[in-house]
Structure 1
């Protein structure tokens, strides 16, 4: 199915437009962790003021409420996940669903309350992990270990953008090769967690295909469509 023919998701397209206009979603040539040259780059660290962070939290909250996923607590992996968990918990409370949140430290604290976990107690809770993207699933696996050790149950992961591209894996000889599935699909299949994303690469293609060749803020955006489409065809799942 082509990008133009696939069903559209208004919330996802609004999010892509917001990310582009905020300078968080950029186009050019960027090297990924997998060593691929990507024609686009999403950096959630650039949601760096109150207005942008509040809008981002709104997108997460709206997507989560519409997903039907049942969870009792938000967990933010250090470091980006900490800010996301706090911001989204505020927005969910504003929308009528007040939930606790927690996060981890990279290094255990040996004074005060000690340990690596901060925030609401996890024990007995159904925990949703919140992050910006899933690159290799490493952060998710580390979070799952901490959540289970605290007596809680991980039930899902929410991310801003699903790149929908094949993950990489290290072979016995140490060389990197494409995996059969994307990192998101691996989390779903291997770890049994539901993954809720605000938008996907397919939504980005929809957005680019609808852009004029010129215009304020959007000048030249349509020109990126062939390169993003080619990247999708080469590495997509």
Structure 2
């Protein structure tokens, strides 16, 4: 993604306080001086901009990887819960992205629990068979929950995603002994591309000195040797 697009995302998140600063306990139990909450990007115009940023990152990825010739063959898969509306936003915005040439990319999402009435099942939306799947999520931290989801996709749905697209990558290790950040380890272990609109490194130039120093200390403890 271009530096301009990453900066646009960071400024959008800062403007709506989706990036907060203080002392937070993450899902992993890790303490952090900052927190990303995509749920605070909830107004119509803001969501439209977020969708365009997702679609732009998708188009850039397909262009970079030489897959832009047939974008109709892709499906965006939203993970419960935050990834569900994000996948829908990205899918709708992709139809208006010039690089995707109005491609009718489809989307689907997974329920956490199977529905026993109506159409039933766990999968809602388009049929993934024969499509190249890009999983959509909001933030990448340790990647532990994502590994469980990817195993479920492989074992139950026989789906091996081509890529994961997140809005924000914190560039942190899953465990202290890991040699690299969760996103890069996940890419190697799962043999898939892991990409984001922006990373914590894109955030640092936008911060005051004290906030920047706190996050750099956090990265020194929980990030890889070089990010």
Gaps of 5+ in 2: 68-72
Q: Superposition pairs for residues 220-231 of structure 1, below 5 Å?
A: 221-231=208-218
| Structure 1 residue aligned with 2:171 | 164
From the superposition, tell whether residues 152 and 158 of structure 1 become closer, same or farther in structure 2 (CA, over 3 Å): same
| Structure 1 residue aligned with 2:183 | 184
| Structure 2 residue aligned with 1:211 | none
| Structure 2 residue aligned with 1:19 | 13
Shift of 1:151: 4.8
1:49 aligns with 2:43: yes
Rounded Cα–Cα distance in structure 2 between residues aligned with 1:35 and 1:42: 15
Rounded Cα–Cα distance in structure 1 between residues aligned with 2:43 and 2:200: 25
| Structure 2 residue aligned with 1:133 | 139
Shift of 1:135: 2.9
Match of 1:61 among 55, 76, 79: 55
- Preserved CA contact (<8 Å) 2:141 2:172: no
Rounded Cα–Cα distance in structure 2 between residues aligned with 1:20 and 1:33: 21
From the superposition, tell whether residues 150 and 144 of structure 1 become closer, same or farther in structure 2 (CA, over 3 Å): same
Shift of 1:86: 0.6
Aligned partner of residue 34 in structure 1, secondary structure = coil
Rounded Cα–Cα distance in structure 1 between residues aligned with 2:131 and 2:158: 8
| Structure 2 residue aligned with 1:82 | 84
Query: What value does the CA root-mean-square deviation take over the aligned residues?
Result: 1.9
- Preserved CA contact (<8 Å) 2:165 2:196: yes
4+ runs of 1 displaced by more than 6 Å?
none
Shift of 1:181: 2.5
Deviation readout 1:35-65 (Å, 9 max, x if unpaired): 3321111011111221221111111111111
Gaps of 5+ in 1: 1-7, 169-176, 209-220
1:193 aligns with 2:192: yes
TM-score under structure 2 length normalisation: 0.85
- Larger helix share, 1 or 2: 2
Deviation readout 1:193-231 (Å, 9 max, x if unpaired): 1011011111111222xxxxxxxxxxxx34311111222
- Preserved CA contact (<8 Å) 1:124 1:153: no
Alignment size in residue pairs: 210
